[in-house]
Chains A and B, each alone.
Chain A
Amino acid sequence: MEKRSVPVQLEKVTKIFRDPKTKSDVYAVRDAQLEIESGELVTLLGPSGCGKTTMLRMIGGFELPTRGRIRIGGEDVTYLPPNARATATVFQSYGLFPHLDVFDNVAYGLRVRRVPKAEMATRVMEALGLVGLAELARRAPGRLSGGQQQRVALARCLVVRPKVLLLDEPLSNLDALLREQMRVEIRRIQKALGITAIYVTHDRVEAMSLSDRVVVMKAGVVRQVGPPSVIYERPDCKFVAGFVGKVAFFPVAVLAEQVQGAVACSLAGRRVLAGSMAPGVAVGAKAFLMARPESLRLGDPGDGACDGTVATNVYLGSSVECFVATEYGEILVQIDDPSESRLRPEGSKVSITFDETRVRLLPEGEE
C-alpha cells in the first residue's frame, strides 16, 4: 500500500455538553491546542471522563466542537460529516456489521465509494492479509474471537486508505496477552504504512510503548504533550507525574539554581539537589520534588535526604519494592538487585537518598 499521510491540527478546540439534570455546562474539552505531524502516532492518555474520546470523536466528525477549528492536511474539516473526512476509526466495540461477513465488512467502504469489483477484491484481500485474516474472509463476525474482530475492524479502516487512523481504546476488550500482541501489531502496521494515527487509551503502558508522542489530559484540559520518555522523566505537574508512573513527592523550598540546570533546595532543613525543574518553579518559592522508585536508594539512618523505617518488602523477581514509612508518607523505593545483602529487613531504620540527575522539581498548587 502506498504511503500517504497528513498532519492534523486542533486550534483552541472546545466542546461543551449540557448537563440535562443540573442544567449547567460541562467542558468535555477545553481550548485544546494540538499539532500532530504526518506519519506520527499520538496517544491521548488520561483517566476516564477526561475528554480524550470526545476529542477523537471531534476529529472523526461524530461530534461538533462548540468552538475552535480542526484541520486535517491543512484543510478545515470542523463541520464536515464523518463520511466526508479522510479519517477512519477503529471503535472500542469494533462496530462490525453483524449482517455482513468478514469480506463484506472490509469491502463496505469500497462499495460505498463504488470501487470496481476486481480492484475491490484485491484490496480487501490485501488488507485482510495485512492483519493475517485472509483465510477467514467468509466468516460471520459473530463467530470470530475478540482479537480477530479487532483485526477485521482495523482492516476495514485500512482498506479505504485513510489519511488519518483513529483508534478509540481498541484493545480494552481483549485479554492481557492478546493486548500486548495487538499493540505490537498495530504499531508495526502503522509504521509500515506511515499513516498518521491518533490513539485513545487510559492505559499508561499502552501509551508509553506505542506512541511517538503522548498527550496527557485531565478534566478536558491538555496537561502535557511530549515523547514518552519526556512525559515519564520530566513531567510538568504532579498529575502527569502520578498518572504515567509510580512516584513520590517531597515538599521542598527552592534555594538556588546551580550549574548545568541542577537546583539546590531544602527538604526540612537538609540540602538536596534536583536535576531539573518544571516551568512554574521559582527560586525562593516552595515546590515539590518528585522521585520515581528507581531514582531512590536506601542508606543508613542520617545519611540521606530523609529517614524512615522499612514497612514492607515486596519481592517481584527482577526487583524488590521496598516501602519505607517516613514523615512524608510511605515512600516506595525500587531495589534493582534483589540480592540478600542489599535488602533491609522489615522494621529496620534506613534513610533515602536521591539520584540527583533523575529527580525533578514540580510547581506547587493544583494537581
Chain B
Amino acid sequence: MFTKKKILAFLAACAVFLVIDLWMFSVLRGSYQKTVLQDKKELIVALARSAPAEAAGMDPWLTEVQKAYPGLRLLHIQGIPGIAQVQAASLDSELKSLWSARQGAVSFQTGIEAASYLEVFVAPEAVRLGQGKFLLVFAPVLNKEGDTAVGIVVAAVDESVLTSFIHLTYSLSMIAFLVFALGFGIPTFSRDPLTGYAILVLFAIVLTFVAYPLFEALRLTFVHEGRFSFAIWKEILTNKQYLSALAGSVKLGTLTATLSTVVGFLFAFFVARTSLGGKKLVTALATLPVISPPFSLTLSIILLFGNNGLITKRLLGLEHFSIYGLGGLGLVQTLSMFPIAFLTMAGVLEAIDSTLEDASLDLNASRWQTFTRVTLPLAAPGILSSWLLVFTNSLADFANPLLLSGSFRVLSVESYIEVTGMNRLGNGAALSILLLLPTLTAFFVQRAWVAKKSFVVVTGKPSGRFSDLASKPMRLFLLAFVVLASVFIVSLYGTIVAGCFVKNWGIDYTFTTANIVEALQRGKAAMISTVTLAGIATPIAGFLAMIGAVLLVRKRFPGKRLLEALMMTPFAVPGTLIGISYILAFNKPPLLLVGTGAILVICYVIRELPVGLEGGVATLRQIDPSIEEAAADLGADQATVFRTVILPLIRPAFISSMSYTFVRSMTAVSAIIFLISARWYHITIQIYNFSENIRFGLASVLATALIIIVLAVFGLMRVLVKQSEHLEKTVTVQ
C-alpha cells in the first residue's frame, strides 16, 4: 500500500497544489487589501482636503469629523516637521501619545516625507493602540493654492477589518488543501476509496454538526465579557430561580418515572404474563402516545381539566382547580411516557423463562411468593432501566412543560426562556448542559449496574406456555386497570377530535366546521414547510444511517469508536441543548445557516441518525458477511455491493429508520423552536401558538391532522416492511 513511489507522487501532488493554493490566497489577499485600503485612503485624502490650514480651526474640525465618522481615529499635524513649526492635535489620546513617543521612528519619517511631496503613504507595519492593531495612513493637508503641504492628517485604520477577511480566506485555502490531500490521498493509498470517502464525509458531518456546536455551547458558558470565566456557572449554581428549575426537573422526572414504571409494569404483566385476551389491542393503544405529536395530550388535558375544562368547569363546577404545575405535568408525562416503560418491561418479562416460575410453584411456593421471589428479582434490572429511561425522557421533555408548567419551573423551559425571552444565550446553554448531567449519570448507572445485574438469558426458545401467576381477583384488577387506562387514552384522543368541531371550548360548545377551514388556511404554509423539510431530511438520514451502520459493522478504520460515539451523541443530548448550540454555531460565516431551511433539515438528520444507525447495525450483524464478500468476489465494486446486496438485505431497517425520521421530524419541538424562521415555520410551533392564544379549536385541527399523517406513515411502513419479511427469515436461517 505505502510504496515509496506512491508516497513521492502524493507528496509532489500536494506540494504543487499547496503552491497554487498559497498563490491564489496571496493574490486574493493582495487585491482585497488594495481595494479596502484604497477606499480608506480616498476617504482620508478627501478629509485632509477639508482640514483647516490654521491651527485655530483644528479642534472644531476634528470634532466635526468625529461626528461624521465615529470609528475613525485621526491625528492632525499642523505644519510639516523639519520645515515649519509643528503642532499636533487629536481627540484620541492614545494616538497623540503615540505621536509624541514615536515621532522619530522610520515609518513616521517616511510618512512625513511622503506628505511633504503631496503623496499618500500607508505605513507597512501595524502599530499597537490600546487593544488592537492599526495601520497608519498619512495624507497631506494642502494650502489654498493646492501646491504645498501645510500639514498632515494621520489616520489609524483598524487592521482587524483586513485581518478577519484574510483569516477567513486563509482558513478556506487551508481547508481546500486538506480536502485535496485527503481526496487525493485516499484513492492513492487505499484499495477501497469509496469506503475512505464515506468515512471522511461522515466524520466531516458529525464534527461540523455534532462536535462543533456542542463545543461552541460549552465554550460560551465559560466566556464572560470576552474572556474565560466561571461567572455564568457561578450564577447558574447560586441563583434561586435556576436552582428551583433544577429541583423542579428532578422532582418531575422522579414522579413521572415512578408512575410510568408502575403503570407500564401492570400493562407489561398483563400482556406478557397473563392469559387474558385483547393483548394486541392493548399493545397498539399503549404505543399510540409514543408516536403521537407533541402538545396533543397536553391539549386534550387542558380541554378536559383546564381552567375552562369540560370536566373541571362544566361537569364538576370547580372554580379554583388548576391543572398547571407538577400534578398536571406528571399526569401528561406519565400518559405519554409509560409506553416506553411498558415496551421495555414487556420485553424483559417475555424473556424470562417461565420454567423458573414453574419450578418455584412445583417446590410448593405460592403464586405470590413465586412472583415476589422469582419473577420480580429477575425483572428488577429491566424495571430499573425502564425507570431511568423514563426519567431521562422526562427531563429532556420540552413540549409538555412549555404548555402546562404554569409557575412550576423546569430546566428545559427555563433555558428556552433565557435564550428567547432574555437573550442570555450563555445562561441558556449552561442550563441545558445542566440537563445533560442527570441523563449522563443515568446512562452510566445503566451501564455499570443494570448491565451487570442482568439475569435474563435469551434462550431463543420462545416458551408459549406459562403458569398464570395472577389469582382471580388480581386478574380482575389488572383487567379493570388496563381497560380503564386504555379508555382514558382513547377518550383523550377523542377530545382532540371533538375540539376540532366546537366553536369555543369551555364557553360555547356549538358544532362548527369553521375551525377546520381557518386552521388549514392559517396552518397551510407551516404544514407545507414542515412536510417539505421532513421529506428532505428523511432519505438523507436513512442513507447516512445505513452507510454508517455498514462502516461500523463491516469496516476497520482508525477513529471508528470516535465516529460511533459522535454519531450516537445526539441521542443523549436534550433537544433544547441542540437547538441552543445550533444557533450559537451557525449564525456566523462560513456556516451562516440560522434562518434557512437547511439548518432544520440538518437538525432533523442529526437528531434521528442514532436510532436509524442502531437499527441498521442490529440488522447488519445478523447478516453473514460472506454474502457481501461473494458479491465483491464476483466483480461488484463497493457501491454495487451496497446497492444490490446490502441495501436489499437491510431494507426493513432502512424503511423503519426513514419513517421514524419523518415522523419525528414532523413532531419535533424542542430543538427546532430555536431554529425556525418566518420562512421555514413548523406545524408543532403553530399548534403551540394557537394553544397559547386560547384558540384550542385551531390547535385541535392541526394536532388531528398531524396525528393522521403520523399514523398514515406508520401504516405505510408496516406494509413495506411486511413485504420484506421473507427476507428476514432466509437471512436468519443462513
Q: A interface vs B, CB < 8 Å?
A: 60-62, 64, 79-83, 85, 87-89, 91-99, 108-109, 112-113, 140-142, 153, 156-157, 160
Q: Nearest 8 pairs between A and B by C-beta?
A: A142-B730, A109-B634, A95-B626, A95-B630, A98-B730, A91-B626, A82-B632, A112-B636
Q: Could you tell me the distance in whole angstroms from the C-beta of A58 to the nearest C-beta in chain B? A: 13
* B343: Cβ under 8 A from any A Cβ: no
- In angstroms, Cα B727 to Cα A61, docked, is 28
Flag if B733 contacts A83 (CB, 8 Å): no
Cβ 8 A contact of A81, one of B627, B632, B644, B729? B632
Answer whether residue B637 sits at the interface, using C-beta atoms and an 8 A cutoff.
Answer: yes
- Is A83 a contact of B635 with CB atoms below 8 Å? yes
Specify which chain A residues have a CB less than 8 angstroms from the CB of B636 in the assembled complex.
Answer: 83, 108, 112
Contact in complex: A93, B730 (CB < 8 Å):
no
A82 contacts B633, C-beta separation under 8 Å: yes
For A90, give the chain B residue with the smallest CB separation: B630
Instruction: Known contacts A80-B191, A112-B636; decide if A98 and B631 are in contact (CB<8 Å).
Output: no
Given the contacts A96-B627, A142-B733, A83 and B633 also touching, CB distance less than 8 Å: yes
Q: Chain B interface secondary structure, helix, strand, loop or mixed?
A: helix
B634 touches A91 (CB 8 A): no
Contact with A along B184-212 (1 / 0, CB 8 A): 00000001100000000000000000000
Q: Which residues of B contact A113 (CB under 8 A)?
A: 635
Contact A108 B734, CB 8 Å, known A64-B1, A97-B645? no
**8 Å CB contacts to A: which residues of B604-646?**
624, 626-637, 640, 644-645
Assess whether B406 is interfacial by the CB under 8 Å rule: no
CB of B731 within 8 Å of the partner chain: yes
Q: CA separation between A82 and B640, bound complex, in Å?
A: 13
Give Cα distance in the complex from A98 to B635, angstroms: 18
Name the residue on A nearest B626 (C-beta).
A95
With a CB–CB cut-off of 8 A, which chain A residues contact B624? 93, 95
Q: Mark B64-89, 1 if CB is under 8 A from A, else 0.
A: 00000000000000000000000000
Is there a chain A Cβ closer than 8 Å to B715's Cβ? no
Contact of B640 among A92, A99, A112 (CB under 8 A): A112
Q: Does B55 contact A (CB under 8 A)?
A: no
Contact A89 B649 (CB under 8 A): no
In angstroms, Cα B634 to Cα A91, docked, is: 12
- Contact yes or no, A98 B191, CB < 8 A: no
Kindly list chain B residues whose C-beta atoms are within 8 Å of the C-beta of A108.
631, 634, 636, 644
B648 at the interface (CB under 8 A from A): yes
Within 8 A of A (CB), among B703-734: 726-727, 729-731, 733-734
Contact A95 B1 (CB under 8 A): no
When the two chains form their complex, are residues B629 and A83 in contact, meaning their CB atoms are under 8 A apart?
no
For the complex formed, measure the closest distance between the CB of B131 and the CB atoms of chain A, giving whole angstroms.
Answer: 52
Contacts of A112 in B (CB 8 A): 631, 634-636, 640, 644
Q: A112-B640, A140-B730 are in contact. Are A98 and B626 (CB under 8 A)?
A: no
Chain A residues near B192 (CB-CB < 8 A): 81
Bound-state CA distance A113–B635 (Å) is: 7
CB <8 Å contact, A83 and B637 = yes
What residues of B have a CB within 8 angstroms of the CB of A91 in the complex?
Answer: 626, 629-630
Contact A96 B645 (CB under 8 A): no
Contacts of B644 in A (CB 8 A): 108, 112
Asked if B627 and A95 sit within 8 Å, CB to CB, the answer is: yes
Residues in B lying within 8 Å of A, measured CB to CB: 1, 191-192, 624, 626-637, 640, 644-645, 648-649, 726-727, 729-731, 733-734
Most buried by B among A95, A109, A157: A95
**B627 contacts which of A61, A98, A140 (Cβ < 8 Å)?**
A98
A109 touches B635 (CB 8 A): yes
Chain B, residue nearest A108 (CB): B634
B178 to chain A, nearest CB (A): 25
**Which residues from B are CB-within-8-Å of A157?**
634
- Give every chain B residue within 8 A of A82 (Cβ-Cβ): 629, 632-633
The interface residues of chain A lying within 8 Å CB-to-CB of B727 are 98-99
8 contacts between A and B (CB under 8 A): A64-B191, A82-B633, A83-B632, A83-B634, A91-B629, A95-B629, A108-B634, A112-B636
Report how far A96 CA is from B634 CA in the complex, Å: 12
A113 CA / B192 CA spacing, docked (Å): 19
Chain B residues positioned under 8 Å from A142 (CB to CB): 726, 729-730, 733-734
Do the beta carbons of B637 and A99 come within 8 Å of each other?
A: no
11 other A-B residue contacts (CB within 8 Å) besides A82-B629, A93-B626, A156-B630: A81-B637, A83-B634, A92-B626, A95-B624, A95-B629, A95-B630, A96-B630, A98-B730, A99-B730, A108-B631, A113-B635
Residues in A with CB closer than 8 Å to B734 are: 93-94, 96, 98, 142
Alpha-carbon distance A46/B633, docked complex (angstroms): 25
**Distance of A289 from chain B, by nearest CB (Å):** 45
Provide the bound-state CA to CA distance between A157 and B635, in Å: 11
A60 to B626, CA, bound (A): 12
Contacts of B640 in A (CB 8 A): 112
CB-CB under 8 A from B645, the residues of chain A are 97, 99
A88 to B634, CA, bound (A): 6
- With A81-B192, A95-B624, A99-B648 known as contacts, the answer to whether A88 contacts B633 (CB < 8 A) is yes
Contact across chains for B634 and A79 when beta carbons are under 8 A apart? no
The closest CB in chain A to the CB of B647 belongs to: A99
Chain A residues with CB under 8 A of B631? 97, 108, 112
The winner among A79, A83, A109, A160 for most chain B CB atoms within 10 A is A83
State A236–B634 Cα separation when bound (angstroms).
39
A79 and B632 contact, CB distance less than 8 A: no
**For the complex, what is the distance from the CA of A175 to the CA of B635, rounded to whole Å?**
31
The distance from the CB of A170 to the nearest CB of chain B, in whole angstroms, is: 12
A145 to B: closest C-beta gap in Å = 12
Cβ 8 A contact of A60, one of B191, B627, B633 = B633
Looking at the assembled complex, report how far the CB atom of B636 sits from the nearest CB atom of chain A, in whole angstroms. Answer: 4
Tell me whether A160 and B634 are in contact (CB under 8 A).
yes
Residue of B nearest to A114 (CB): B635
Residue in B191, B627, B633, B637 whose CB lies within 8 Å of A79 = B191
Q: Is the CB of A98 within 8 A of B630?
A: no
A107 (CB) vs chain B CBs: closest residue: B634
Query: Would A62 and B635 count as touching, CB distance under 8 A?
Result: no
Query: How distant is the Cα of A240 from the Cα of B90 in the complex, in angstroms?
Result: 100
Closest partner residue, chain B, to A149 (CB atom): B734
Minimal beta-carbon separation of A276 from chain B (angstroms): 42
Tell me the complex Cα distance, A126–B436, Å: 64
| B703: min CB distance to chain A, Å | 40
B629 nearest in chain A by CB position: A62
Q: Would you give the shortest CB distance from B621 to chain A, in whole angstroms? A: 15
> Once the chains bind, are A89 and B629 in contact (CB under 8 Å)?
yes
**Residue numbers in A under 8 Å from B726 (CB-CB):** 140, 142
Contacts of A98 in B (CB 8 A): 627, 649, 727, 730-731, 734
In this complex, which of B627, B628, B634, B729 has the most chain A Cβ atoms within 10 angstroms of its Cβ? Answer: B634
**Closest CB in chain A relative to B85 CB, distance in Å:** 82
Residue of A at shortest CB range from B630? A95
CB distance from A286 to the nearest CB of B (A): 47
Residues of B within 8 A of A87 (CB): 633
Q: How far is the CA of A87 from the CA of B631 in the complex (A)?
A: 12
Residue of A98, A112, A113 most packed against chain B (CB within 10 A): A98
